[in-house]
Structure 1
Amino acid sequence: MPADRPEALLIGGRAGVGKTTVAWEVSAVLRRSAVAHAVVDGDFLGQVHPAPEDDPLRSGITEANLTAVWANFVARGYRRLVYTNTVSVLPAATGMFERAMGDRVRIVRVLLTATDATARERLVRREIGSELEEELAGSARKARLLDRDAPAHVVRVPTDGRTVADIAEEVLAATGWGGRHLS
Structure 2
Amino acid sequence: MDGTEAAQEPTTPPSLLLIGGRAGVGKTTVAWEVAAQLRAADISHAIIEGDFMGQIHPPPQHDPHLSAITERNLTAIWTNYAQLGCHRLIYTNTLSILPETAPTFHRALGPDVHITRVLLTATDTTTHQRLTARELGSELNKELQSSARKARLLEERSPSDTVRVRTDGRRVADIAHEVLTATGWAGPAHAGSGPSA
TM-score range, shorter chain: over 0.9
Partner Cα separation in structure 2 for residue 163 and residue 180 of structure 1: 17
Partner Cα separation in structure 2 for residue 22 and residue 44 of structure 1: 17
**Structure 1 alignment gaps of length 5 or more:** none
Whether the 8 Å contact between 1:29 and 1:178 is mirrored in structure 2 is no
RMSD: 1.1
How much does 1:180 deviate?
2.2
SS at 1:9 equivalent: strand
Counterparts of 1:80-99 in structure 2 under 5 Å?
80-99=88-107
How much does 1:178 deviate?
2.0
Q: Structure 1 vs Structure 2: percent identity of aligned residues?
A: 61
Q: 1:18 aligns with which of 12, 17, 26?
A: 26
Q: 1:154 aligns with which of 146, 154, 162?
A: 162
Number of corresponding residues: 180
SS at 2:17 equivalent: strand
Q: Which amino acid aligns with 2:139?
A: E
How much does 1:3 deviate?
5.7
How much does 1:151 deviate?
1.4
Q: 1:106 aligns with which of 114, 117, 123?
A: 114
Q: Which amino acid aligns with 1:143?
A: A
Q: Does 1:131 align with 2:148?
A: no
Q: 1:178 aligns with which of 180, 183, 186?
A: 186
Whether the 8 Å contact between 1:33 and 1:179 is mirrored in structure 2 is no
Partner Cα separation in structure 1 for residue 166 and residue 11 of structure 2: 31
TM-score by length of 2: 0.89
Q: Does 1:43 align with 2:41?
A: no
SS at 2:18 equivalent: strand
Partner Cα separation in structure 2 for residue 86 and residue 56 of structure 1: 18
Partner Cα separation in structure 1 for residue 61 and residue 164 of structure 2: 35
Q: 1:33 aligns with which of 11, 16, 41?
A: 41
Q: Which amino acid aligns with 1:171?
A: V
How much does 1:179 deviate?
3.9
How much does 1:153 deviate?
1.0
Number of the residue aligned with 1:165: 173
**Structure 2 alignment gaps of length 5 or more:** 1-9, 190-197
Partner Cα separation in structure 2 for residue 164 and residue 23 of structure 1: 10
Give 1 or 2 for the bigger CA radius of gyration: 2
SS at 1:52 equivalent: coil
Q: Which amino acid aligns with 2:165?
A: V
Partner Cα separation in structure 1 for residue 146 and residue 61 of structure 2: 23
Partner Cα separation in structure 2 for residue 52 and residue 142 of structure 1: 24
Partner Cα separation in structure 2 for residue 3 and residue 99 of structure 1: 17
SS at 1:180 equivalent: coil
Q: Which amino acid aligns with 1:4?
A: T
Partner Cα separation in structure 2 for residue 3 and residue 179 of structure 1: 22
Partner Cα separation in structure 2 for residue 151 and residue 5 of structure 1: 22
Q: Which amino acid aligns with 2:174?
A: D
